[in-house]
Each structure stands twice: as C-alpha cells, then as structure tokens.
Structure 1
Amino acid sequence: MWGIEAGSVAQDTASGQYAGLAPSIDSWFLSQSASTASVSKMTAAREAGAVPMVAWSPEGNLTEIKNGQKDAQIISMAKSLAAYGHPFYFRPFAEFNTNWETYSLGRSGNTPQALYGAWRRVFRIFRQYTGSKSLFVWTVGYSGSISPLKTAWPGSDYVNYVGIDAYDWCTSSSWCPGDQYRYKTMLGALRQFDGGRPAILAETATGLQTADKGKWLGAALRTAQADGIRALVWFDEIVPNSNQPDWRLASPSSAQASIQAALKQPNVASPKYRDITTLESYAVSASWAKAIR
C-alpha cells in the first residue's frame, strides 16, 4: 500500500496527484496534548479513497500511563476515534527507541517494562471503544536502540503491524547509494521476536535533490515488497527550523517523471486500482493481492 504524510488530507491528495498515484494511506500526527481527533478529517481521507493513519501518544511518562493516571485522556481519544466507524492505522509511542520523544526509553524513567505496560493499557482501552477497527502499529526508529526492543514487545496479540521509520538523509546520489535499505537491520531484529506480524515502513523518504529521487523510490518499493513489507508511507514535508533535507516528492521538480515511473510498477495498491472497502480489508487482514491495472 502506497501512503503519504504531507500535513493535511488536501496536501496528501495534491502530493498524490503530483506523483501520479493517489495514496491508499493518508497519514498524520496529533499533538500529545490532544484528547480528541477530527472525525471530519478521517472521513475526508476515506472519501479520497485512503485509510487514515494516526500517530498519537498520551501525555506523561510511561509509568504514569501504565498505572492509569492518563486514562481520562486516552478514553477521550479512543471515543473520538471510535466515532469514525471505519478501520484506521494507529501509531502510539512511535519511535520510542530513540531519544527525542517524551516517551523515549531512558528519558523520565521510561523503561522497556513500562512501555510494555503502557502499550497494553492503551490497546485495551482502544479495543473497548473502537473494537478491531484500530490497527495498532508498533513503530520503531531505524536509528534507535535495538537492545531493549524484545523486553518492550507487548506480545503479538497486542500488535497488528510492526512499523519502521527509516529515512535516507543523503542529498546527493554520488555518496550514498543503497540507503533505501536502511530499514533492513531493524527488520531483522524485529523478526527475532515479533511472531511474524506484518511490517510496514510507517515513515520514509529520501533527501535526494536530484532527478534520481524517483529511482530511489522505485528501488525502495521493489526491495520492500521483496522483504514482505506491506506498506510504504512517504513523509512529504519540510521540517521547519531543522537541518533536515527537503523530503517532498516535488523537490526537485526534475524528479517528477522518475517518481511517476516508479509508482507504475506492479503491486502498488492505490485508490486508482482498489476501492476504499477493499483497501480497508487489506489493512484489517494484511492479506495481499496484485493491483489491477
């Protein structure tokens, strides 16, 4: 499944039009201070033919969450997402194995055991209100620590997908060939204990500012499919006040033709080939079929 995160449903749709293929996953982030989600935004994504993907984590450290001190906020969020009424991907505690999140392991007393308990608590609350429509994605950062992951794993019954956020920071193809494969080490580590849960690239992009950006995407799609990865979600943004590359598909414009060519390869699911109910069934079952052309 082909996904885009560009900041809004309209921007995701526009980026899909630029790339020549509408996204089957429409991804965004919610603030940790939020206690509700926008049902209208979820509905707009579905009307555009995409399954929503929401990244959100409650406030507080993992021990507070595990012990139920943040239940009111979690219940409020779960109720608001339940009102959507259709399947959606849900990414709490994304990149917990890095060091830049409030819930990161090693910060504020956060331990793998606390993440184990916090994840299970959020999962149980969401299941109470959303049933099986919330598809939980246990997301790690490719550059983060591997050693605590097995201890933090909540068990296959509490995870629908494992996710990896993996970026290629290179801006010139002359000095970093092959960086579309940076997820491989982390995927190998997850496969040691994840019970074979289906995997997705929940965030990915290259910083290449050349016409080879599409070539990179094509290689990433082929390699991910060969590794059994079920979805690739492109982070299509500029991060303000940072030294990060311009991740947008439209930068540079000279890459547009190669991007569109990359997305014409077989087995890339999109509203262009599948209606929303079929894409939702893919998401729920993680089963696969060839895209119809």
Structure 2
Amino acid sequence: MAVLTFGLTPPPAQAAATITLSSTSGEAGSPVTVTGAGFPKRTKGTVVAGTAKVAVTTTSTGTFQVSIGMPTAPGTVTVTATAGSAVASAPFTVVDPVPVPSGTRSIRFGVGTNGGAAAGGELDEVAALAGEAPSIVLSYKDFNQAAPLAELDAVRARGAETLLTWEPWTWGGGTEQPAYSLDRIAAGDFDAYLREWGTALGQWGQPVYLRFAHEMNGNWYPWAEGVNGNGAGDYIAAYRHVHDVVASTGATNISWVWNPNVPYWGSTPLDQLYPGGDYVDVVALDGYNWGTSQSWSAWQEPEVLFGEGITQLRQLAPGRPIMIAETASSEVGGSKPQWITSLFRYVSAQQDVVALVWFHINKEADWRINSTSASADAFRAGLAARR
C-alpha cells in the first residue's frame, strides 16, 4: 500500500558552523574577538590560534563569543573553533609591527625588587642586567606605615617615579583581618590616616602612581569581596572613599592606579569592581606565567595570560593608559627566554600599554630577570627592541 506524504515538512537541517573574526589582520599579540554560530547547543569546545587556546561553551542557540590573542610569528594563522562534532575555521594574517625610531620607547620599563625603592644596589643590578635603568620602581606599604617620602626621594633622584602599592591590612596577618574590612574603610574609620597620607604626598609634590588595594578580584587579600566579611559592592565604596579623602587634602600630584589580577575562572568580574572613570587615572593588570611550578598551574603564553584582561580594561575604561604592573615567568614548563621575547612583542603591539613592571624576586618561583643567563639575554634584547 502506498503512503502519501503530501503536506509533510521535513525537519530543518542544522546550519553549518561558522566563525567570524573582529579583524582579519594585525600585529603580533593582537586580541581578536571570535564569534561562532551554528554549533551544537550548550556544548563545551575550544578556539585555537597557533599556540593560543581558549575554552568556550556555546549558548542555547549554538553561538559563542570569545577573545583570543594572535601568535607572535608573522604569517597566516588559522583560527579554528571546535564544539562537539562541529568545526569552523577562518584565517588571520599576523603582520610585522611598525618599526620604532631608535631611542624612542613609549613603553616604560619598571621593576620590583626585594628591597623596594630604598634598595639602590638592587636597582643598579637590574639596570646592568637589562641594559637600561628602570623609570618606574614598584614599592609596597601597608596601613601601618607612613607615606614613604624618603623612598620617593631616592627613586626621584634616580630619574624614576614610584608605583606605590598601598595595602589596607597588616602584613602577615592573613585574609581574615576584620579591623580592615572594606565597610570599615568606607565608614571613615581610617580617615585620619588617609588624610595624613594625602597631606604628605601632596606636600611632597612630585608625580607618584598610587596603587590602592590591588588584585582585588582574587581571594588572597582581605580587601577582596567574599573574604573578611566583605560583600558585593564593598570594594567600590571603599576605593571611592579612600580616593575622596586623599583628594580632599589637595594632593593633585597623585595618579590613581586601579589594578586587578588577570581574570581567571572564579575571579570576581571586573565590572563589579571598577570604581569609575572619575576615580581612576591608569588601569593595570598583574599576571604571572607560573608554568608548571605549581600543582594547579600550566604554561601560559603572554597573549593568553593578558589578552582577555586587556580587552576588559579597554571596555571598562576606554582611553585610559594601561600598565602591566607586575609580571614575570617561571623557568619550569617551557622556555622562559622565548616567553620573555614573546612578552615584549605582545605588549609592543598593544598601543595603549604604557608600562611594563617586572617582578625581579626569587619568591614562589624564580621570577628574576637572570634566573638563567639565557633569560637575562632575552630580557635585554626584548627590552631594547620594544615599542
């Protein structure tokens, strides 16, 4: 018996997976937004571009959007997205950076050492290793210390400026320090101390970068939300309050630096922590390539480490200069000399990055410039060739 099928409509075919790139060419390290469509719904996958790789999860309509940094070697690279059985690719051309005239360096070189701003011998050693004296010196003070005017003078005498990290806690006290909860800071419990700092820095009168309560999107400091009794919105309130009290003293020589850690899975979203353009002069990121030095860590190329964070900073604070305020690499898990070379190429391609501060300390890993002679050689060469 024949079966009539008139009027029946076959189910729609699955659309072929496709990806589009926000740009199809650019300098090494350029962050590119990849938009995918036609992939299986709610499916985990990856986007790969050379050595860079990021994870994605498609939406209920089979789409996704992610940022990925382009490789550092000039030429054509294939960007490939995979989710389930669906695969789509698109080409991207990595072009050589525009040459920078000799003697012109728009990315400032900074350093942090064990002894900080007062350790002239350590800073001399860095200058010899790098072939250039740092123009920014990283310094740290907690909420029990006065404004370090003598150290600021010492740095200025070297022709440099201080990136002064101001930490609202007692060093060594751990993450649970109720005396320094964010709501206490916002309520004015430390106003007298804040005014002392503002008055001292203002009377000193020379330019200084003030980095208050950095890496706030993590969970390892008592000023992070989710620890020490802090809740959502407390960080912005505390940051704004500190800024306003210090500004009320008339200190106009301070450049305020808002400085999260590079975003990671589980970190507090940056848009929930940004105090707004009226409170920030410079935005910054801290990011380390831990390699395989820790049980939880893996080797990360510079464009992967910094790409997403820089993209978010540009969205939150358009037009603001960007610093890499702390960075370094482990020797374990890959080639540190190659990583250093890639880092300088990557930041040189980011026209809004104005400074790179290296963490020259043997601490959780051997972060030093000269952890090996090959790393020191790569650093010297990369620094000399930077934008």
**TM interval, short-chain normalised:** 0.7 to 0.9
Cα distance change, pair 149–136 in 1 and its aligned pair in 2 (3 A): same
Change (3 A) 1:46 1:211: farther
Query: Does structure 1 retain, via aligned residues, the 8 Å contact 2:218–2:267?
Result: no
Moved more, 95-104 or 79-88: 79-88
- Distance between the aligned counterparts of 2:243 and 2:256, measured in 1? 8
RMSD over aligned Cα atoms: 2.3
Q: Indicate the SS of the match to 2:142.
A: coil
Question: Are 1:139 and 2:259 counterparts?
Answer: yes
In the alignment, what sits opposite 1:167? 288
Q: Is residue 2:158 matched to residue 1:48?
A: yes
- Kindly provide the amino acid, as one letter, of the partner of residue 90 in structure 1: L
Question: Structure 1: which 5+ residue stretches go unaligned?
Answer: 268-293
1:28 matches 2:139: yes
Structure with the larger helix share: 1
Change (3 A) 1:99 1:147: closer
- Where in structure 2 are there 5+ consecutive unaligned residues? 1-107, 170-179
More strand by share: 2
- Write out aligned runs for 1:60-99 (5 A): 60-99=180-219
Distance (Å, rounded) in 1 between the aligned partners of 2:377 and 2:334: 8
Alpha-carbon separation, structure 1, partners of 2:232 and 2:274: 8
Q: Pairwise mapping of residues 1-293 of structure 1 onto structure 2 (< 5 A)?
A: 1-7=108-114, 8-9=116-117, 10=120, 11-34=122-145, 36-59=146-169, 60-129=180-249, 131-144=251-264, 145=266, 147-170=268-291, 176=299, 178-179=301-302, 181-208=304-331, 212-227=335-350, 228-239=352-363, 244-267=364-387
1:210 and 1:252 map into 2 onto residues whose CA distance is 14
Task: Give, in angstroms, the shift of residue 158 of structure 1.
Answer: 0.7
Distance, in Å, in 2 between the alignment partners of 1:146 and 1:195 is: 22
Matched position secondary structure for 2:164: strand
Q: What is the one-letter code of the residue matched to 1:5?
A: G
Q: Which residue of 2 aligns with 1:289?
A: none
8 Å contact kept, 1:3–1:24: yes
CA distance change for structure 1 residues 22 and 155 in 2, over 3 Å: closer, same or farther?
same
CA contact (8 A) 1:112 1:149 kept: no
Q: Contact 2:137–2:155 at 8 Å: present in 1 too?
A: yes
1:264 is paired with a residue whose SS is helix
Shift of 1:146: 5.2
Relative to structure 1, the CA distance from residue 161 to residue 202 in structure 2 (aligned partners, 3 Å threshold; closer, same or farther) is: same
Change in CA separation of 1:47 and 1:212 when aligned onto 2, cut-off 3 Å: farther
Mapped contact 1:61–1:108 kept (Cα < 8 A):
yes
Deviation >4 Å, runs of 4+: 143-147, 209-212
Q: Which has the larger Rg?
A: 2
Looking at structure 2, the residues matched to 82 and 237 of structure 1 have their Cα atoms a distance apart, in angstroms, of 31
Shift in CA distance, 209/152, structure 1 to aligned 2, threshold 3 Å: closer
Contact 2:202/2:252 (8 A) holds in 1? no
1:213/1:259 contact within 8 Å kept? no
- What CA distance in whole angstroms lies between the structure 2 residues aligned with 1:168 and 1:252? 16
Per mean C-alpha deviation after superposition, the further-off stretch among 189-198 and 152-161 is 189-198
CA–CA distance in 2 between the matches of 1:129 and 1:168? Answer: 40
1:237 partner letter: I
Q: Give how far 1:213 is off.
A: 3.5
TM-score of the two chains, using structure 2 as the length reference: 0.62
Counterpart CA distance in 2 for 1:206 and 1:170 is 7
Q: Distance in 2 between matches of 1:257 and 1:192?
A: 36
Equivalent pair of 1:88/1:133 in contact (CA under 8 Å): yes
Code of the residue aligned with 1:13 in structure 2: it is D
Which amino acid counterpart does residue 356 of structure 2 have in structure 1? L
Once the two structures are superposed, what CA deviation does each residue of 1:43-79 show, in whole Å capped at 9, x if it has no partner? 1111111111100133411111111111122122222
- The 10-residue stretch of structure 1 (251-260 or 207-216) with the greater mean CA deviation from structure 2: 207-216
Q: Which amino acid aligns with 1:43?
A: D
Kindly state the Cα deviation for residue 178 of structure 1 after the two structures are TM-superposed: 1.9
Question: Identity of paired residues, percent?
Answer: 29
Report how far residue 109 of structure 1 moved.
2.5
CA-to-aligned-CA distance 1:212-255 (integer Å, 9 cap, x gap): 5444223212211312211110011122xxxx211011211343
